[in-house]
Chains A and B, each alone.
Chain A
Amino acid sequence: MTILKVLGKTCGFFGYVIQYACVTHCTFEYIGDFVMCSGPSMEPTLESNNILLTEHLTPRLQRLRRGDIVIAKSPSNPKQNICKRITGLPGDKVKGHFPKRSQVVPRGHVWLEGDNSGNSSDSRLYGPVPQGLIRSRVVCRVWPLNKISSLTEY
Chain B
Amino acid sequence: MQPALNPESTDTDYVFLSRWAVRDYNIRRGDVISLSSPKDPNQKIIKRVVALQGDVVSTMGYKNKYLKVPEGHCWVEGDHTGHTLDSNTFGPVSLGLINAKAVCIVWPPARWQKLEAKLPESRKPLSIAM
Shortest distance from the beta carbon of B62 to any chain A beta carbon, whole Å: 14
Interface of A is mostly: loop
> Which residues of B, 37-83, contact A by the 8 Å Cβ criterion?
37-42, 70-73
Inter-chain contact total with CB atoms closer than 8 Å: 51
| Chain A 71-82: CB-based contact to B (< 8 A → 1; otherwise 0) | 001111111000
Decide: A108 and B37 in contact? CB cutoff 8 A.
Answer: yes
Which residues of A51-91 are within 8 A (CB) of B? Answer: 62, 73-79
Is B95 positioned at the interface, with any CB of A under 8 Å from its CB?
yes
Instruction: Say whether B40 contacts A78, CB under 8 Å.
Output: no
Question: CB distance A78 to B42 under 8 Å?
Answer: no
User: Does A78 lie within 8 Å of B41, measured CB to CB?
Assistant: no
Interface size on B, residues (CB 8 A): 19
B25 CB, min distance to chain A CBs, angstroms: 5
| A78 and B95 contact, CB distance less than 8 A | yes
**Interchain nearest-CB distance for B67 vs A (Å):** 14
Interface size bracket, A side: 10 to 19
Interface pair B94/A75, CB less than 8 Å apart: yes
In the bound assembly, the distance between CA atoms of A76 and B45 in angstroms comes to 21
B73 & A132 in contact (Cβ 8 Å cutoff):
no
Q: Assess whether A133 is in contact with B39, with CB atoms less than 8 Å apart.
A: no
In this assembly, does A107 line the interface, its C-beta being within 8 Å of a C-beta of chain B? Answer: yes
**B25 touching A79 by the CB < 8 A rule?**
yes
A62 touching B96, Cβ below 8 Å? no
- 0 or 1 for each of A115-154: is its CB under 8 Å from B? (1 = yes): 0000000000000001111100000000000000000000
Would you call B97 an interface residue if the criterion is a C-beta within 8 Å of the partner chain's C-beta atoms? yes
What residue in chain B is nearest A72 (Cβ atoms)? Answer: B96
With contacts A73-B96, A75-B72, A133-B96 taken as known, whether A62 is within 8 angstroms of B38 at the C-beta atoms is no
> Of residues 85 to 130 in B, which have CB atoms within 8 Å of A's CB atoms?
93-98
Q: Which residues of A contact B (CB under 8 A)?
A: 62, 73-79, 106-109, 130-134
